[in-house]
Amino acid sequence: MGHPVLRTEDPGMLTGATRYLDDVVVDDALSAVFVRSITAHALLGEIEVAGALKQPGVVGVFTAQDLDLPGLTSTWVDEVFARPPLAKGTVRFAGEAVAVVIAETAAHAMDAAGHVFVDYDFLPSVTDPVAAASDSAPLLFREAGTNVAIDDDYGSERLDFDDAEIVVRARFVNQRLAPVPMETNGCIAIPNAEGLTLWLPCQAPNTVRDDLAKLMDMDQASVRVRAPAIGGGFGAKIPFYPEHLVIAELARRLGRTIKWIETRSENMVAMTHGRGQVQDVALAARQDGTITGLKVDVVDDAGAYPGDSAELPELTWKMSTGVYRIPKVEFRTRYVATNTTPTYAYRGAGRPEAATMVERIVDMLAAEIGMDPTEVRRRNLIGKDEFPYRTATGEVYDVGDYERVLNDGLVIAGYDDLRADQARRRAEIGTPQLGIGISCYVEMTGWGAEFASVDVNDDGTATVLTGTASTGQGHATAWAQLVTATLGIPIESIHVVQSDTAVIPRGEGTMGSRSLQAGGVAIADAAEAVYEKAVQLAGHLLEVAPHDLVRADDGFAVAGAPDRGLTWAELASSAQDARALPSGMSPGLRAESDFKIAGHTFPFGAHLAVVEVDIETGAVKLLRHIAVDDCGRILNPMIVEGQVHGGIGQGVAQALFEEVVYDEVGNPLTGSLMTYTMPSAAEFPSFETVRTETPTPLNHLGAKGIGESGTVGSTGAVLNAVVDALAHLGVRHIDMPLTPQRVWAALREARAS
């Protein structure tokens, strides 16, 4: 515990030995290619497939009418918004699947797809969620009578700011993003005598198994879902996609294995997008900077099929007070259908939207009253002696020390020197301007229960089963660390098994920064149970009291008599013999655990960004990014460091580079990596990261989540830094991404006013 152990997964990845989905070879497999809508909104006329069927290698071409599969529904919204696996009657976004070609090879299928012709009767489209929420907007679902799938105020009180000393108001756009994982979507469906095996790059195999079995009217035991190595998920690989259902049904119907691998251009329009909120915000405060209330009206872009992402605005509401003592909150959300790719969770899932919102409006309050942004924050931070703290939205923060991480960040950055440099630059004509941005954040992590088991084998090795599903986080290393910490079995002798429903009986998967505090605690509990059984067995066999035993390198020895002992291999072998066991002990050195999380944990931190802005061109350069994060007790500092770096990278990317853009009729303008600006490491400085440890009392490891914290904390810091660099020139706010053109336009507008 607490040691920077190198990841055991990495050698296979670095040498190319690790198998991803497309590396899974199944003999005699057919290939699938989806024909996708070229328009954002239209009635479907005739789909001509005769020409495609004549192409070499084609086995079949299928439409919604051929398959008659059930629609994908959500408990969050009315069934009227259900999504058909293949478009039926109407297409609602560019990229929606309308047909699928099955052929002997991927090349054959791709060629034949070009011979499928679709008759479209074009309809008006709407891509702006605010416009979509209006009564005059084109309707995506006429039978619904509205594009607003949810209109909720979460029971919040109505606030009247008429008597407030200061009210700061603004509209923020938290733009739509594409997840762009290294590995795209896909699946391999294999029919067999037992039922169906599905290989999927997914974050929750057991949940996908349950969904697939229900939709196909199959027994869960007859459906097996397996995930090979996964090249990134970021939330977009949690859901069960309609394409998965189509491929599974056709494999069952044709009695042949079918493989579908998404192209990158498909991925940009077919995989769920993230974010997509328009936030109207009002913050009330006193002249001394004390915040007295917050009003938020969010229009959340659901994309073409509302449902799966419906909980995201609720998460934004829950975390809307951030790290501050905000006594009253009024929050309304409208969750709206638009003619765009459906949205879903993306790293942070509703919490980065909240953190960026509250940190931006707090900076605007500081500017309004002429107070340093650090001082405004200090006056409103929840004190370390106030925990557990119940917020105005009903969340109970477990533990924190918000002022400490802010102070640490300011010291590391040399805040006073930065402000002096900023003042000097402002006095020099033509000099690139310096901006300093701060973001104090708290985020909500962990939920549900998780399964794990630990089994010591006859050769002295151990096998760990876990319901979590790594998408690159290093679970195999971390879970082995937990077992070796308790049992002493070397990490290289511990085999971690995950992401196979034939072996893992249950599990809720990897999302919401829950893995260590759910799956990890379950593994630690199971390992502790194995240890207790082993020490009882060793004492019985060695004829000594268990408390007279000490852990040896490969088992147990009698204290003071190291020559008298038993190895793990000997204990595991003896444990199989009922005659060798103490009375009442069951055979085998195995234990399992289902750990249920007692409540959400709340990691926190402070990020500080330093930028340089060229006021002639609008170009922004990130000079420094300091992150002070607290995720409770740390298991592997090296893995935590990697998670923080990746999170910061994605958060900065939102602030400066990335945005999904559609034209006025719903055509995607960022449908490839030629047009979607995804940064590389060359665009970032070396991040300066430190961590504090404030263990949570909600689990005995003291662990909180860390996988999304970097994203939650970084975006607002960079946004604030850029506006700070230009504030003296009259710039009040700029919406993300802060591209040179957008910054230049804001400067030009400020100069003209």
Query: At how many degrees (to 10) do helices 415-426 and 402-413 cross?
Result: 50
pLDDT attached to residue 614: 97
User: What are the backbone angles phi and psi of residue 398, rounded to the nearest 5°?
Assistant: -75, -55
Residue 494 near residue 462 (C-beta atoms within 8 A):
yes
Per-residue model confidence (pLDDT) at position 397: 98
The Cα 720–Cα 439 span in angstroms is 8
CA distance 745 to 734: 10
* Partners of 117 in beta bridges: 48
Structure tokens at 270: 């077919």
pLDDT (0 to 100) of residue 430: 83
Q: How far apart are CA 149 and CA 534, in angstroms?
A: 56
Nearest to 355 by CA among 647, 624, 634: 647
- Segment-wise mean pLDDT, segments of 10 residues, the chain, 753 residues: 92 95 96 98 98 98 96 96 98 98 98 98 98 98 98 94 96 98 98 96 97 97 97 96 98 98 98 98 98 98 96 97 98 98 98 98 98 98 98 98 98 98 93 97 97 98 98 97 97 98 97 97 98 97 96 92 94 95 95 97 98 97 98 97 97 98 97 96 96 97 97 98 98 98 97 91
Cα 473-474-479 angle, rounded to 5 deg: 120
Record the pTM.
Answer: 0.97
Sign of CA dihedral 379, 707, 637, 387: positive
- Give the residue among 396, 395, 380, 384 at the shortest CA–CA distance from 326: 380
Residue 52: which H helix or E strand, with range? helix 50-53
> How far apart are alpha carbons 348 and 713 in whole angstroms?
10
Report the amino acid identity of residue 84: P
- Determine the Cα–Cα distance for residues 741 and 723; give it in Å rounded to an integer: 14
Interatomic CA distance for residues 359 and 715, integer angstroms = 10
End-to-end CA distance of the chain: 58
The rounded distance, in Å, linking the Cα atoms of 329 and 325 is 11
Residue 748, pLDDT score: 96
3-state SS, residue 581:
coil
User: What are the backbone dihedrals phi and psi of residue 80, each rounded to the nearest 5 degrees, phi first?
Assistant: -60, -25
